[in-house]
A and B are shown apart, each in its own frame.
Chain A
């Protein structure tokens, strides 16, 4: 750890991983309710379980992004974070707000109260006082990191990261605007939900990935930056008007069907570019970084994001297709692989890279971490296929033949059982990851015969950076 204030990231990562555990256990419970629908139906209804599963995801991903920013900005800007106190205050506000949401929903407190009650719009259902807290926390964060960058060295990575984080915070302000008209409500709702994950979050993703590539492969910064700019340009070009693919059936004018179809089809481009970027950097890189787990997660992130967000997104983005598939299990398949590939794997990559440095524990346990990658990636890929098949059958029975929704659900039971199984594998992987990151103290990885031979014979081959 070059800068003392980087340790702020440790607290953020700890909170993020705790919420990650909550999220996947909530997901497992939701998956169980699909096969045994009366489970906890009185005590903890499905809609609350689902809310916990999706919101815990969003909150831990953002907490991870904040932690990643606190970790990498000092190194990029070559100075300490402006104020450690503010950073911890920000985290405390976020944790209190998160607990507030959970308690309010679980016990349905203050129903209908304008300030304290739940608001019920998916993903932005936080009570108003929590929303205000999120804004305060975001302002503290932006002040803190912007001051750090302004007084330090400015790099493309920090510029893009800050652009993404500013965008994230500013777009959240739309959560305070809730028009009476349901079509307008949905229209502005997507300003947050879409423009986050298919807009500014991609900037955050690209910049963190670029940082990881820079550190792990040792490729020149100039080359990394060129890729970064191209990826960001492609992401914004396609992503902003790509919002149109949510405007097909909510009451907005018909031309959105074409704007949405055309621009959102291009959203596959930045994800393809990120995948190409990650692999080209590894091929070109001359550094043999010992943190193989971080490299595996980085490459896995870029690859699974391309398939989950890019390919599975394109699968149902054209309005002629979406007319039939909208809101079926196809959407669930896409949602799961996209979030896991793009943002979960990205966070786990930066955790894998940063945690050993933060805990001063090189060398560290790689085998368990890498095993957890294959468990999670395998479980999630299987779940994606299962849900895609379920969605295809559902689309045909329900949307083409016109069968009743619940009759169709009965026919899908076998897929829901398989989904539960793949979810179980994923949860085991997630818990193993958390264990591998925090617990084992030492496991020296010696160079194998191939690596040793390369080290002996190739003078350009750089081993084990500290």
Chain B
């Protein structure tokens, strides 16, 4: 069968690809729903969006992309048998993940202080659902990066980096749609 050979050509774990595609479908559907509901109340959505902390989110984009770069480097270094550098890069990537979460936490705390929650406006319901669900993946990703830094088989690192790039990619889709789109 031709599809079997295509699947065999995929780098990394097949199950990780299944997970990645599933995640992209979920976040994609969430963004489509967000934009669909936005059509019903453009003014309300624009008003609600003006409460967001865009600088923090832009900073977070830089943090997460740098972290992704480190995870990618880690695999290169590990394949070049440079285990020490690879481990350092993975721990560095995880640390940047934590930085992302701290900035995100500051953002959430600010919203809470303003009395903004899930039920304030449909915009905020999607905001919390999408960014919260993404943040949960960052938490998981930090754990996975540390796990593969410890169990540093190249295949493990590849799977960890695959997951981490997915988390990156999702953020890069969320950021413009939720924070910037006017």
- Give me the interface of A with B, judged by CB distance under 8 Å: 223, 226, 229-230, 233-234, 237-238, 253-255, 258-259, 261-263, 265-266, 269, 280, 284
Contact = CB atoms under 8 A, between A and B. Distances in A.
Contacts of B33: 258, 261-262
B135 to A, nearest CB: 15
Given A223-B4, A230-B18, 12 more contacts: A226-B14, A229-B14, A230-B14, A237-B19, A253-B118, A254-B118, A255-B118, A258-B33, A258-B129, A262-B33, A266-B22, A284-B1
B50 to A, nearest CB: 22
Contacts of B22: 233-234, 237-238, 266, 269
B81 interface: no
A127 B125 CA distance: 41
Contacts of B26: 262-263, 266
A233 B30 CA distance: 20
Contacts of A254: 118-119, 125
Contact of B29 (A233, A253, A265): A265
B25 interface: yes
In order of increasing CB-CB distance, the 6 nearest A-B pairs are A262-B29, A237-B22, A233-B18, A255-B125, A230-B18, A255-B129
B14 A262 contact: no
Interface string B144-156: 0000000000000
B125 A233 contact: no
Given A234-B18, A254-B119, A266 B25 contact: yes
A261 B126 CA distance: 14
The main secondary structure of chain A at its interface with chain B is: helix
Contacts of A280: 1
A210 to B, nearest CB: 16
Nearest to B23: A237
A234 to B, nearest CB: 7
B15 interface: yes
Contacts of A226: 14
Interface in B20-79: 22, 25-26, 29-30, 33
Most buried by A among B25, B118, B119, B126: B25
B129 A253 contact: no
Contacts of B29: 262, 265
Contacts of A234: 18, 22
A258 B29 CA distance: 10
B170 to A, nearest CB: 14
B166 to A, nearest CB: 13
Contacts of B119: 253-254
Nearest to A262: B29
Contacts of A266: 22, 25-26
Interface residues of B, number: 18
A413 B4 CA distance: 51
Contacts of B30: 258, 262
Interface string B97-139: 0000000000000000000001100000110110000000000
Nearest to A232: B15
B129 A259 contact: yes
Contacts of B125: 254-255, 258
A256 to B, nearest CB: 10
A230 B129 contact: no
Contacts of B4: 223
Nearest to B7: A226
Contact of B15 (A230, A255, A265, A269): A230
A18 B149 CA distance: 56
Nearest to A280: B1
16 contacts: A230-B15, A230-B18, A233-B15, A233-B18, A233-B19, A233-B22, A237-B19, A237-B22, A254-B118, A254-B125, A255-B125, A258-B33, A258-B125, A258-B126, A258-B129, A262-B33
Contacts of A229: 14-15
A248 B143 CA distance: 33
A265 B129 CA distance: 17
Nearest to A259: B129
A259 B1 CA distance: 36
B138 to A, nearest CB: 18
Nearest to A253: B118
Nearest to A230: B18
A262 B37 CA distance: 14
Contacts of A261: 33
A284 B3 CA distance: 13
A259 B133 CA distance: 10
A180 B181 CA distance: 45
A155 B104 CA distance: 43
A253 B122 CA distance: 12
A265 B126 CA distance: 18
B26 to A, nearest CB: 6
A222 to B, nearest CB: 11
A230 B128 CA distance: 30
Contacts of A238: 22
A97 B159 CA distance: 48
Nearest to A237: B22
Contacts of B18: 230, 233-234
Contacts of B118: 253-255
A233 B22 CA distance: 10
Interface string B1-21: 100100000000011001100
B22 to A, nearest CB: 5
A135 to B, nearest CB: 33
A253 B125 CA distance: 10
A262 to B, nearest CB: 5
A259 B128 CA distance: 12
Contacts of B15: 229-230, 233
Contacts of B126: 258
A263 to B, nearest CB: 7
Contacts of B25: 266
A234 B18 CA distance: 8
